[in-house]
């Protein structure tokens, strides 16, 4: 009998009975119960052909030893029978029947027999009672006949202890017809194949159901870094707003362009070794536009262009020192200087997003390098209102719709404003950037006309990205210690707050 035909036999039986236990099936088909279980399981693979319910049946059985007892009588009864009315020597009795020791002690504890140790010739055994029946035998027979009810709980425990009977768990299945009950099984196809499409066999085949609760196979692909995705989004916004990207490919910058050109005095704390990375090699820059350098020197040390200046002894040595640029505004300064050298002034809108370096105390939100986003607009009569307006447009595109501006201090902008955006997720105002109007002491020495104002703003790329991705430690976002899984799993980073 092969598997398929057993399945069919089982189905026929189910068809006959409507509902049946697997044990009954095994008996009816005269097949081992396990084979029936196998057949039921394999029928289940065909869908809702049958309904199956597992059942556990407990049943008392007589053990092999118990069966012997049924055949030969219980050991204690055999001992009892062997004791004549006048008694018998104990040693003699023990040799008369099999399993005599067990039988003897059992018969003693049941008080079927008694021993007189003072008799002549040794201990003698006498019947304690006459006309006893073999209770053990009759209980076992009752069990064998399936009449468990006739046997008391205590006796069952006793028989189990004596290993004459045992309780066995019989696992079976209760089987009923299913919705799609059939006598003839056809295995559903796992999936549609080219062959089926070509020979048209798909029309008559059934198909295995999909499990829609499982995940699909992940696509085999590389991934872009989330911070770089955010950078792309910011670039896109600047380009949409008509801004031109500045060349920021110069991490090494002279203090002159990084600080002095921005009217940042030479004793300013930002120029401390605590804040700025200075460079050993190449240690200094020496080529500067000479006339411009003189004007910068004058505006610092003596003032001019309407300014009191800082009135200190400006030193060229300090300006020559190379640093890792502390802001991309160093690049903006070069761009504005170049703009001023053109014959005719034309308005410009510049932007950049690139690395800057700070020798600061490192913590969960500060690294020695980060990406600075910067926007600059230079035109005649650009106003503080324009700065606020352009910031509104810029941040609106990033999904920040409510802005507030707080007066602030920055050495090279005046007025200066910190920009706060309302974060609807965090339900609070968060500082999202810095902005201001470049000081005339920075612009006029470059040669820009007096009525040209330059507005600018800056922010870090990391901070809004960390808020967006819910990352607390900046090291989980950038650097070699990031978890690649984070990169694999990162969203497309729409910056909408």
Q: Which residue has the tokens 């005649």?
A: 380
Closer to other proteins by Cβ: residue 168 or 273: 273
Q: Are 478 and 457 in contact (CB under 8 A)?
A: no
Closer to other proteins by Cβ: residue 207 or 409: 409
Which residues ranging from 403 to 422 are in contact with other proteins (CB under 8 A)? 404-409, 411, 414-417
Q: Which residues pair with 371 in a beta bridge?
A: 355
Please tell me the distance from the alpha carbon of residue 398 to that of residue 493, in angstroms, as a whole number: 11
Which residue in 129, 206, 308, 342 binds other proteins (CB under 8 A)?
308
Closer to other proteins by Cβ: residue 139 or 285: 285
Q: Are 397 and 351 in contact (CB under 8 A)?
A: no
Residue 376 beta carbon to other proteins: minimum distance, rounded to whole angstroms: 11
Interface characters, 268-307, with other proteins (x: CB under 8 A):
-x---x---xxxxxxxxx-x---------------x-xxx
Residue 468 beta carbon to other proteins: minimum distance, rounded to whole angstroms: 16
DSSP run (H or E) holding 19: strand 19-21
DSSP run (H or E) holding 174: strand 165-177
Q: Does residue number 213 form part of the binding site for other proteins (CB under 8 A)? A: no
Q: Does residue number 379 form part of the binding site for other proteins (CB under 8 A)? A: yes
Binding part of the chain for other proteins, among 12-20, 37-45, 148-156, 372-380 by CB under 8 A, reads 372-380
Dump strand ranges (E) for 186-267. 244-245, 252-254
Q: Does residue number 232 form part of the binding site for other proteins (CB under 8 A)? A: yes
Please tell me the distance from the alpha carbon of residue 139 to that of residue 145, in angstroms, as a whole number: 10
Q: Are 226 and 465 in contact (CB under 8 A)?
A: yes
Q: Does residue number 482 form part of the binding site for other proteins (CB under 8 A)? A: yes
Q: Does residue number 68 form part of the binding site for other proteins (CB under 8 A)? A: no
Q: Are 241 and 398 in contact (CB under 8 A)?
A: no
Phi (first) and psi of residue 62, to 5 degrees: -90, 135
Interface characters, 415-454, with other proteins (x: CB under 8 A):
xxx-------------------x-xxx-----------x-
Residue count at the site for other proteins (CB under 8 A)?
102
Which residue in 180, 192, 368, 492 binds other proteins (CB under 8 A)?
368
- Parallel/antiparallel/unpaired status of strands 452-460 and 403-407: unpaired
Q: Encode burial over 475-494: b for 16+ CB neighbours within 10 A, e otherwise.
A: eebbeeebeeeebeebeebe
Please tell me the distance from the alpha carbon of residue 472 to that of residue 147, in angstroms, as a whole number: 73
Interface characters, 321-360, with other proteins (x: CB under 8 A):
-x-x----------------------xxx-----x-x-x-
């Amino acid at each position: 009998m092969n598997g398929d035909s057993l399945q069919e036999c089982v189905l026929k039986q189910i068809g006959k009975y409507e509902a049946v236990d697997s044990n009954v099936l095994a008996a009816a088909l005269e097949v081992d119960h396990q084979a029936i279980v196998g057949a039921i399981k394999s029928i289940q693979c065909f869908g809702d052909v049958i309904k199956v319910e597992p059942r556990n049946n407990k049943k008392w059985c007589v053990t092999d030893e118990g069966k012997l007892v049924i055949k030969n009588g219980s050991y204690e009864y055999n001992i009892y029978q062997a004791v004549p009315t006048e008694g018998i020597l104990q040693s003699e009795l023990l040799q008369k029947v099999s399993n005599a020791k067990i039988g003897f002690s059992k018969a003693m504890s049941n008080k079927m027999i008694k021993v007189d140790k003072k008799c002549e010739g040794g201990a003698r055994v006498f019947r304690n009672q006459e006309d006893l029946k073999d209770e053990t035998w009759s209980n076992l027979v009752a069990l064998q006949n399936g009449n468990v009810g006739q046997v008391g709980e205590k006796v069952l425990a006793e028989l189990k202890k004596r290993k004459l009977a045992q309780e066995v768990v019989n696992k079976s299945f209760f089987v009923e017809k299913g919705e799609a009950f059939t006598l003839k099984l056809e295995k559903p196809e796992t999936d549609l194949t080219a062959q089926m499409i070509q020979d048209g066999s798909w029309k008559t085949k059934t198909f295995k159901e999909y499990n829609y609760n499982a995940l699909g196979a992940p696509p085999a692909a590389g991934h872009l870094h989330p911070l770089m995705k955010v950078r792309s989004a910011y670039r896109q916004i600047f380009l949409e707003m008509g801004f031109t990207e500045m060349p920021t490919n110069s991490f090494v910058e002279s203090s002159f362009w990084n600080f002095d050109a921005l009217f940042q005095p030479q004793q300013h704390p930002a120029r401390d070794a605590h804040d700025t990375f200075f460079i050993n090699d190449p240690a200094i820059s020496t080529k500067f536009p000479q006339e411009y350098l003189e004007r910068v020197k004058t505006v610092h040390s003596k003032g001019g262009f309407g300014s009191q200046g800082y009135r200190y002894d400006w030193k060229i040595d300090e300006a020559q020192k190379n640093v890792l640029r502390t802001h991309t505004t160093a690049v903006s300064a070069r761009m504005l200087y170049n703009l001023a050298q053109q014959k005719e002034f034309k308005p410009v809108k510049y932007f950049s997003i690139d690395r800057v370096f700070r020798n600061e105390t490192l913590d969960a939100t500060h690294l020695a390098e980060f990406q600075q986003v910067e926007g600059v607009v230079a035109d005649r009569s650009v106003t503080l209102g324009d700065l606020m307006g352009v910031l509104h447009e810029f941040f609106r595109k990033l999904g920040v719709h409510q802005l507030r501006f707080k007066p602030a201090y920055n050495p090279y902008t005046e007025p200066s404003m910190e920009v706060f955006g309302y974060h609807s997720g965090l339900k609070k105002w968060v500082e999202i950037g810095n902005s201001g109007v470049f000081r005339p002491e920075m612009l006029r020495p470059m040669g820009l006309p007096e009525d040209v104002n330059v507005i600018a703003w800056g922010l870090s790329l990391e901070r809004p990205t960390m808020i967006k991705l819910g990352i607390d430690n900046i090291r989980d976002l950038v650097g070699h210690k990031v978890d690649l899984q984070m990169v694999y799993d990162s969203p497309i980073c729409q910056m909408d707050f």
